[in-house]
Amino acid sequence: MHDLEDAWEIALAEATQRARGAGRADLLRYLDLRRRNDLLRRAATDWLHEAVTSLAADANRAGAAIQLEREAAHRFRRGPATMVGKLLTLRKGVRALTIESGWPRAPRDGVVRGNGLACANIKHLGRARLNEELVLVSSASGSPQWFVLKDDVRTILTESDLRRHFAILLQS
C-alpha cells in the first residue's frame, strides 16, 4: 500500500505543479482539499487500527495468544462504492475480529455517501448481528471523527466501543 500511496502523492504533486503553471486556482484549491482530506483519512484509519492492535498487545502480554494479520492493499464494498485501504484481522481460536477501513481512491471507485471521508467495518466472524459500519466525518473543528451507522443514525465511536468489540473476541 505504501507504494500506491507514494505514487498517489507524486501524482498529486505533479498535478499541483501543472495547475500552478496553468494558473488554475480552482484546481489548486481542489488538490489542496484532497491532500488535506487524505491526511485526515490516513490519521483516522491509522488510529482505528492502532487502537485495536494496542488492545490485542495488552491482552497478549496477559497470555491471550491473539494472532494478528494485516493486509495493506485491501478492497471492500460499501453500497455501490469500492473502498481501498487496509484490513486488520485478530484471531483467537475459531473467533475472528476484522477491522477494514479505506476510502475511494479513483473516480471509478465511487464516493463515500453522507459527506463522509472514509468508511470502516468492524466484523465478527459468524456473528453478523454484532458487526458495525463506520463512517469518518470531518468535525467543525476540522478533526476527523468516526461514527457508527445504525438505522441511518450516527453515534460517535468511542474507545469503549472498541473495547466492547474486543471483549466479544475474547469470549469463549
Residue 4 is assigned to a structural domain of this protein:
no
In-domain check, residue 123: yes
pLDDT at 2: 56
Residue 33 located in a structural domain: no
| 29 belongs to a structural domain | no
Residue 96 has a CB neighbour count (10 Å cut-off) of 17
Is 9 a member of any domain? no
User: Is 16 within the bounds of a domain?
Assistant: no
DSSP lists the bridge partners of residue 137 as 145
155 lies in some domain: yes
Question: Which residues does the chain have with pLDDT short of 70?
Answer: 1-9, 11-12, 27-28, 31, 172
- The answer to the question of residue 144 being in a domain is yes
For residues 119 and 100, is the Cβ–Cβ distance under 8 A? Answer: no
Q: Domain range holding 68? A: 40-170
Which grid coordinates are listed for 3?
A: 507504494
Q: Find out whether 108 and 116 touch, Cβ atoms under 8 Å.
A: no
Number of structural domains the chain divides into:
1
